[in-house]
Amino acid sequence: MQFWGYKRSEGRAGIRNHVLILPTCVCGSETARIVASQVKGAVNIVFNTGCSDVQANTDMSQKVLTGFACNPNVFGVVIIGLGCETVGHKPLREKMRKMTSKPVVSFGIQEEGGTLKTIEKAVRAAREMAADAALQQKELFDISNLLLGIECGGSDATSGLASNPAVGELSDLLVDIGASTIMSESIEWIGGEHVLAKRAATPEIHNQIIQVCKNYEEHLKAAGQDCRAGQPTPGNKAGGLSTLDEKSLGCIRKGGTRPIVEVLEQAERPTKTGAIVMDTAGFDISSVTSMVAGGCNAVIFTTGRGTPTGNAIAPVLKVTANSRTYKMMEDNMDVDLSAIITGEKTYKQMGRELLDVIHDVCNGKLTKAEAYGFSDIAVNHVCRFV
C-alpha cells in the first residue's frame, strides 16, 4: 500500500504540509493565533506553559515544542516568543535547526515592540513559507512511512467491546504491511498490564510495561493521590465502565495483538518499526499531544460518549461504536462502528474498512476536526507550577 505524501529530508514522509505558527510560551499564543488566521496553509498551537517552571516541566515543554517542529506533517515553523520566558525564541529556534533542516524563523514580541509589529513580520514570514509549501509536489510513499497514533477518550462499554478491537485490527493490518502504530495512555493499562505485557517482543519490554504502571501509581502515591479516584471518569462510569481495570482491559485492545517492539517516554520519537507503546497520561488531549510530538502523522481516536477534539498538526479521526453517540454527534464523528455491536459486521471486517479510511486521510482527506480547524493541546506536567 502506498500514499501520496510530502518528502522530508529527515525522517518519515508528511501527510500534510503545514506552516506551523508556534509560541514559545503561553504569552505568545494569541499572537500566533492571529498570524495563522492571516495565512492560508498555516496552523497554530495554543501553548499553555513555558514560564515560571521547574526544570523537569521545562524539559517536557521543550520536548513537545521541538517534537511538533520535527513532525513530518510540518513544512516549516514560525516561532513567536515573548522575551522573558524560560526558553526564548532564539535558543528554541537554534535547537530546532539542529534537529531539522526545514525552515524555522522566529520573532520576539518584546524586541519587536508589541504584538502588532510582531504580527506584521511574522505574517510576512509565514506567507513566504506557505507560498513555498504550496509549490511542493506530493510523492508516492510506501505505507511503512506511516506512524499512526491510537487514542481513546470519552470511553464507554462499546469502546472495549467494539471500537477498540476494530482499531486493534487496523493496527495489526498496518504493522503487517510495514507501518508503525503507537498506543499510549499508560494509566489505562493498569489492571490489564499483565495482558498487554504478554505482547512484549522481549522479556525486557515485558518488564518495562509492568514498570511503567508501577511507576505511575507510585508517582501519584508520592503526592498522596490514588489513580483509582480519577479513573474511571464519571462519564466512563455512566457508560458502564465500573473500575479502572475494566476500562484498561478494553483500552488495551486498541493496540492490537502484534509484538510490542518499543516502550517510549512521552513525546519521544520511535527508533523501531511496528507496534509501539508510549507512557503518557490517560488524559486524551495530553496523550495525543505527546504522540504528535513523537512524530505521529495521524491519530485514530475511539470514543463512546463522543468528543470534538482535533490537533493542528496531525489529523484526528474519531470513530465510535455507540450508535446513539454517532447519531447525536455526527458532525464530530468520522466513522460509525456500531454495526459491530448489532452483530451486522465483525470487528475484523470493520478494522479492514478503517484501513481504507486511514489511507484516504493519508492521501489528504480532511477529518471532521481538521476541517473545523481544531487545535487542542495539553502538555503533561511532571511537577506543579512554581
Partner 1 sequence: MKINALMIDEIDNVVTCVEEVSKGSDVFYRKGDEILSLKAEENIPYCHKIALKDFAKGDEVIKYGEMLGKTLEPISKGHWVYDKNIYSVPRDYDSEMIDLTGGKR
Binding site for partner 1 (CB under 8 A): 156-158, 160-161, 190-195, 197, 203-204, 206-207, 210-211, 213-214, 217, 228, 232, 237, 239-246, 249-250, 304, 322, 324, 341-343
CB of 52 to partner 1, least distance (A): 35
For partner 1, give the closer residue by CB, 163 or 297.
163
CB of 132 to partner 1, least distance (A): 50
Q: Give the integer Cα–Cα distance in Å for 183 and 166.
A: 14
CB of 347 to partner 1, least distance (A): 11
DSSP string, 290-333: HHHHTT-SEEEEEESS------SSS-EEEEES-HHHHHHTTTT-
Of the candidates 302, 369, 368, the one whose C-alpha atom is nearest the C-alpha of residue 341 is 302
Q: Which residues does residue 105 pair with via DSSP β-bridges, in sequence order?
A: 78
For partner 1, give the closer residue by CB, 266 or 322.
322
Q: Which three cell numbers stand for residue 318?
A: 474519531
CB of 210 to partner 1, least distance (A): 5
Q: Give the integer Cα–Cα distance in Å for 362 and 45.
A: 21
For partner 1, give the closer residue by CB, 108 or 304.
304
For partner 1, give the closer residue by CB, 113 or 203.
203
CB of 173 to partner 1, least distance (A): 22
Q: Give the integer Cα–Cα distance in Å for 6 and 262.
A: 26
Of the candidates 357, 379, 375, the one whose C-alpha atom is nearest the C-alpha of residue 366 is 357
For partner 1, give the closer residue by CB, 37 or 215.
215
For partner 1, give the closer residue by CB, 209 or 358.
209
Inter-residue contact 280 to 291 (CB < 8 Å): yes
CB of 256 to partner 1, least distance (A): 15
Q: In Å, how far from its chain's centre is CA 238?
A: 26
For partner 1, give the closer residue by CB, 225 or 342.
342
CB of 318 to partner 1, least distance (A): 18
CB of 214 to partner 1, least distance (A): 4
For partner 1, give the closer residue by CB, 245 or 353.
245
Inter-residue contact 319 to 158 (CB < 8 Å): no
Phi and psi of 263, rounded to 5°? -115, 115
Buried b (16+ CB within 10 A) or exposed e, 107-127: bbbeebeebeebbeebbebbb
Phi and psi of 117, rounded to 5°? -70, -35
